[in-house]
Amino acid sequence: MLIDSAILAGVGLVLAIPAVIIFVVAVVPDLGDAGYASDGTAATPAFLSVLLPFLLMEVMLIAVLVGVQYVYQVELSRRTGQTVGKRVMRIRIVPLDPTRQLTRGILARRFVAQLGCSMLPALNYVDGLWQLWDKPYRQCLHDKFAQTVVVKVPA
């Protein structure tokens, strides 16, 4: 998870830095014009003229990054059950039922459960730590939801 998170954070930075630069270039000149009123007194900048574009940029970045994370976690894992981090650590995702294939639907359920757990800070920790006391498969909550298990790959 740490390796995959580092890769996704790098992609996030590549996308976020230009977005912030464009935002600053587009908004800062407007803030400079709002410094003084026509009678020479100091004017306060319009709060919404800064906040709404900033929130719009954030929503767009979050949507794009969730899409990138979906492609990375689901589409990259579809064939082998491994992301780059899982490949390095020699682990992979397999269905709990050995007769089933690892499908996009199973991986999407796992992704949605993991994303849902990450929305609530306490549940995110419970999801990750659940494997410590789960018997016999040592599944996290998102694995239980998708009926998957993470196994070691033989060398």
How far apart CA 9 and CA 18 sit, in angstroms, is 15
The DSSP symbol for 36 reads B
pLDDT tens for the chain, residues 1 to 155: 899 999 999 999 999 999 999 988 887 666 555 555 566 665 555 667 778 888 999 999 999 999 999 999 999 999 999 999 999 999 999 999 989 999 999 999 999 999 999 998 899 999 999 999 999 999 999 999 999 999 999 97
Beta strands 91-95 and 148-152: pairing type?
antiparallel
pLDDT at site 10: 97
- Apex 68 CA angle, 4 and 148, nearest 5: 60
Centre a 10 Å sphere on the Cβ of residue 106 and count the other Cβ atoms it contains: 22
Q: What are the residue ranges spanned by the domains of the chain?
A: 2-75, 91-152
User: What token pair was written down for 50?
Assistant: 């800064």
